[in-house]
Amino acid sequence: MELLVPAGDINSFYAGLNAGADAIYLSGKMFGARSYAKNFTDEELKIVLKLGKIYGVKIYVTMNTLVKENEVEDFLKEVEFLYNLGVDAILMQDFGMISLCLEKYPNLVIHASTQVNSSSYETIKLLYEMGVKRIVLPREMSIEEIKKIDIPVELEVFIHGALCVSYSGNCLFSSMLGSRSGNRGECVGSCRLPYKLYKDKTLINEGYLLSMKELNTSFNIKKLPSNVTSLKIEGRMKSPSYVGFITKYYRKILDEKELSTKDLDDLKSMFYRGFTKGHLFNDKNLINQKSPNHLGSYLGKVIDVNDERIRIKLDKPLLQGDGIRFKESNKGMIVNYLYDLKDNLINKANPKQIVEVDNKVKLTSLDEVRKTTDKSLEITDFTITRKIPINIEVKAKVGKEFILTFSDLLHTVTYRGSIVEKSINNPISKERLISQLEKLGNTPFLAKHISVDMDEDIFIRIGDLNIARRTLSERLIGKRLNDYNDPIIKEVIFDKITTKEVIDLDNYVEVERNPFYLKEVLKDKSIVSNLFRPTTDVIASYHLNVFNSYTAYYLYKLGYKAVTLSVELNSLELKDLVESIRKKFGNIPLIIKTKGYVEVMLIKGNILNLDKDTPYTLINVKNDKFKTYFDSRCTHINSSYSLNLDEKNFNYDNIYFIGD
């Protein structure tokens, strides 16, 4: 299985590369679902795509946000830029862009982002038939469900990192409340805030009720089914040190090396909200109600405190420069100065030692101490240390050309040198020959095995050997750099829609969500917003995230009789979108939700412990009220306010309006 790791900047890329990643996913400055990460400039993308090919590490670029109509041209320019550079794959969410790019760029490998939310068998089958090469599965899917996917498409599964409480692609919380769309990479983390839960007027629960623990499947990796292709670690917002550590941690597991107690402590000091095995392994312990923050690993106890100093008895080592947090008070600090009991400044303290730190956080209680950053795990040198093992063959026979061959198993390059002579005074030994060929220096290569077939008492100039070695290194790099299909760009021709059919919305089934096995329970709408090939008269609800004219067109061509535009678009954007659809594609029947509440979260299971089909209310610190209920499969949370768009702004043919 492929180990796929994140990179939010160039140093994180180097950290993952050196630590043993098989593949790295990252984003340019636009269209990636982590807009608050540093991300990569075009020049940096050129660098990492080149290095990926040299070192045999796949590079997947995330362009997995929903694309507005006025962004389509820029989106396609970025796709072509990456396509021409030989990107290994692009991750996409927007159904219109997936459909268009599969037609326009035949050799482009597209992965369907987890934001597509491919929870149903039918959705996965549809995407595969369209030409999508890999599905990034929703984090809500269990191994039992994954085992039943008998479609010959690559499957990617999250194995570690932050979890969204809502089905990805179905969370409108940040957008509806703060005008920052999670579907556009701008999530403000509404699920990490405190809430109060009421049943009628009675307070039932309070705390960080929607804040998920960190996914950690490290002790269960071998239980994953054989149809899983790629193991994905979340973390494009994390530091290079985190990326380097977590890559090494899982590389160790996949290489069947035993984890140490220190590995587990270090894992917690890197990032820890409490761990869960997630829906993947049917873990019910998903939420940390007490804190949404990084808790760190256990370090020791405060045994005395005053206004100036905090005295700590350590159970684990502590370094000057480490970060610590006091558990109950939730106060954190960097240990700038570390003192022993003789008031000497020290830079390291050992387990069982009693030390003091400055009381910068005004701590007053005898609290538990946690380590939140570990100076010893910090990566500061990003020089590439990764090497590619190669086999070297030497053939040196008197009277014949000296032949040197380099092979990386996928590519073979050969150099033919001068005629080998019989030595008179200074024959070259086999050992000297091998020693000279091992000097691969600053090249990406490492000699794994050198095979020598040579006559005795021969003479080869050392300079000739060096030239041959350098030449083959350059040729092998060239072979690896050019190991991708030439890009093909096709002109896409679209049908003009001329239907005059009048849609009576009451006579159509609205496709909102479908469970994992749609074919078994077609009428039982539940689990997740999805795309599938309609078999009856259906209309597409706003859950299908229609942001541009291409999504509307391709959904209509799939068989939807009418398409609802996204509720995340404002009146001006909706008006421009309708005009563009009419101009490009004709009279596609369109629906706009102008009134009523919007579902802002759809959550698998009953994480709030609600009574079935009973109204509840979630209230945030700003006193916004969100109607909430559980339907026996999922928890639904609605917006705190009702939409109120003026229908007069959309005076076009074949437009329909809906409320609640």
Q: Residue 159 is encoded by which pair of tokens?
A: 């194995």
C-beta of residue 330 within 8 angstroms of C-beta of residue 291: yes
46, amino acid identity: K
The pLDDT of residue 525 is 37
Give the model's pLDDT for residue 70: 95
Query: Going by C-beta distance under 8 Å and a sequence separation of 6 or more, which residues neighbour residue 140?
Result: 119, 167, 279, 527, 528, 604
The ranges of the chain annotated as CATH 3.20.20.70 are 2-163+213-281
Every domain range in the chain assigned CATH 2.40.30.10? 297-377
The phi-psi region of residue 343 (left if phi > 0; otherwise alpha if psi is between -120 and 50; otherwise beta) is left
Distance from chain centroid for Cα 393: 41
**Cα–Cα distance for residue pair 488/532, rounded to 1 Å:** 28
297-377 folds as Elongation Factor Tu (Ef-tu); domain 3 (2.40.30)
Beta bridge partners of 346: 338
Angle of CA points 290, 295, 301, to nearest 5°: 100
Asked whether the beta carbons of 389 and 446 are under 8 A apart, the reply is yes
- CATH class of the domain at 2-163+213-281: alpha beta
pLDDT digits (tens, 9 = 90+) for 123-139: 888 899 999 999 999 99
Q: Are 24 and 2 in contact (CB under 8 A)?
A: no
CA 191: distance to chain centroid?
Answer: 19
Are the C-beta atoms of residues 218 and 249 closer than 8 Å to each other?
yes
Specify the residue for token string 């069947």.
Answer: 256
Residue 351 contacts residue 314 (beta carbons within 8 Å): yes
Q: Say how far residue 283 (Cα) sits from the centre of its chain.
A: 21
Closest CA to 65 of 42, 41, 93, 97: 93
Sequence length of the chain is 660
Spatial contact of 401 and 415, defined as CB atoms under 8 Å apart: no
CA distances from 252 to 21, 248, 520, 546 (A): 11, 6, 41, 43
Burial class (CB in 10 A: 0-12, 13-18, 19+), 593: buried
**Exposed, middle or buried by CB within 10 Å (0-12, 13-18, 19+), for 540?**
buried
Residue segments in the chain with a per-residue pLDDT below the cut of 70: 33, 511-536
Are 159 and 231 a contacting pair, CB within 8 Å?
A: yes
Tokens representing 447 are: 């000699």
Question: 102 to each of 123, 200, 370, 492, 561, how far by Cα in Å?
Answer: 16, 50, 49, 10, 23
Q: Please state the pTM of the whole predicted model.
A: 0.93
**What pairing do the DSSP bridges indicate for beta strands 445-454 and 643-644?**
unpaired
